[in-house]
Amino acid sequence: MNTALSMNSLGNGYRALVIGASGGLGAAFCQWLEQDPRCAGVRTLGRGTLPMLDLEQPESIAEAAAALAAQAPYQLIVHAAGLLHRGAIGPEKSYAAIEDHALKAVFQVNALGPALVLRHFLPLLGPEGAMAMLSAKVGSIGDNRLGGWYAYRASKAALNMLVKTAAIELARTQPRARLLSLHPGTVISRLSQPFRGAVAARPASLAAGELLNLIDRLTPADSGEFFAYDGERLAW
Ligand SMILES: NC(=O)c1ccc[n+]([C@@H]2O[C@H](COP(=O)([O-])OP(=O)(O)OC[C@H]3O[C@@H](n4cnc5c(N)ncnc54)[C@H](OP(=O)(O)O)[C@@H]3O)[C@@H](O)[C@H]2O)c1
């Protein structure tokens, strides 16, 4: 990291929460935020924290939010968890490879769990705060040219719809807040490791810094939209 970060849109003494902080991007978000002089503290949540938040244990999402409610509001909430592959689960090259158990697991982590994160953590967001959900450009239906990756693509498309829908509702009660769906680009991490191929993958620190700068630039008028790390507005 060679430049300083300052999240000007969040005010002095803002409080941040990173869900999925053990991941490549999640850890990089935390590193940037801990160095921001405006940031009063970074709280982390995941399968290894106390309280624990496991996207495959819905009750843990509600319990974690209840445990953190006393320290609310958070001016920044970043959801950086996600699943592309684990064990026998991996991106399908053909519809012949679609498996019930894999679909359910990927949808649970990428869409159903995050839906409950929206339910339980949006109430902890400050009135001028920003909540960002990490999505993926391969979840864009309009941009799908290569096919494959059924579960991951469809789960991220579902996540995008959940974000858009919640943002419409949020705007009615918290018109100065931002809820965003963000694509980090191809980033060096456990998730991308087997699939990076010839694509130039960026370090997580660089990507997280770019995403935080983007969140800082985006306004409530951009809430509910789907952006790439470089500010490009992506097709649904
Ligand atoms: N890397 C890329 O090129 C890329 C591209 C597009 C989009 N994205 C998106 O960016 C986000 C972060 O990805 P990353 O590259 O940082 O991946 P990563 O290093 O593999 O991190 C994934 C994170 O998700 C968490 N997670 C997985 N299953 C979970 C569960 N059941 N409950 C709670 N947390 C769970 C992991 O926690 P554990 O440590 O407990 O496993 C980890 O913190 C994901 O949403 C991904 O889809 C990444």
- CB of 186 sitting under 6 A from ligand 1: yes
Range(s) of the domain holding residue 181 = 8-228
Q: Residue 66: what pLDDT?
A: 98
Q: Is residue 137 part of a domain?
A: yes
DSSP state of 71: G
Neighbour count for residue 128 (Cβ, 10 Å) = 17
HEC-encoded secondary structure of 139-163: HCCCCCCCCCCHHHHHHHHHHHHHH
Residue 33 placed within a domain: yes
- Distance between the two ends of the chain, CA-based, in angstroms? 32
Would you say residue 89 lies in a domain? Answer: yes
pLDDT band at 2 (very low <50, low <70, confident <90, very high): low
Instruction: Give 80 Cα–ligand 1 centroid separation in angstroms.
Output: 6
Flag whether pLDDT at 229 surpasses 70.
yes
Rounded (10°) angle between helices 204-217 and 24-35: 60
* 2 assigned to some structural domain: no
pLDDT at site 200? 84
Ligand 1 atom nearest to CA at 48: 40
Q: What is the pLDDT of residues 154-213, one digit of tens each?
A: 999 999 999 999 999 999 999 999 999 999 999 999 999 898 776 789 999 999 999 999
Q: Is 203 in the pocket of ligand 1 (CB under 6 A)?
A: no
Q: Quote the ligand 1 centre to 172 CA distance (angstroms).
A: 31
For residue 26 and ligand 1, the question of a CB distance below 6 A is answered with yes
Residue 180 in any domain: the answer is yes
pLDDT of residue 197: 73
The count of domains in the chain is 1
What 3-state DSSP class applies to 67?
helix
pLDDT over 90 at 20, yes or no: yes
Q: What is the pLDDT of residue 199?
A: 72
Q: How far is the CA of 173 from the centre of ligand 1 (A)?
A: 30
> Within a domain: residue 233?
no
Has residue 235 been placed in a domain? no
Beta-sheet pairing, 226-228 with 74-79: unpaired
Distance CA 121, CA 116 (A): 8
pTM: 0.98
C-alpha distances in angstroms, 59 versus 63, 65, 111? 6, 10, 15
pLDDT, mean over the chain? 96
b/e for 67-80, b at 16 or more Cβ within 10 A?
ebeeebebbbbbbb
pLDDT at 59 over 80: yes
The whole-angstrom separation of Cα 212 and Cα 91 is 28
CA of 169 to the centre of ligand 1 (A): 27
Of 17, 22, 59, the one to substitute when testing ligand 1's pocket (max ligand atoms within 8 A of C-beta) is 22
CATH number at residue 201: 3.40.50.720
Say whether pLDDT at 1 is over 80: no
30: β partners: none
Classify residue 236: in a domain, yes or no.
Answer: no
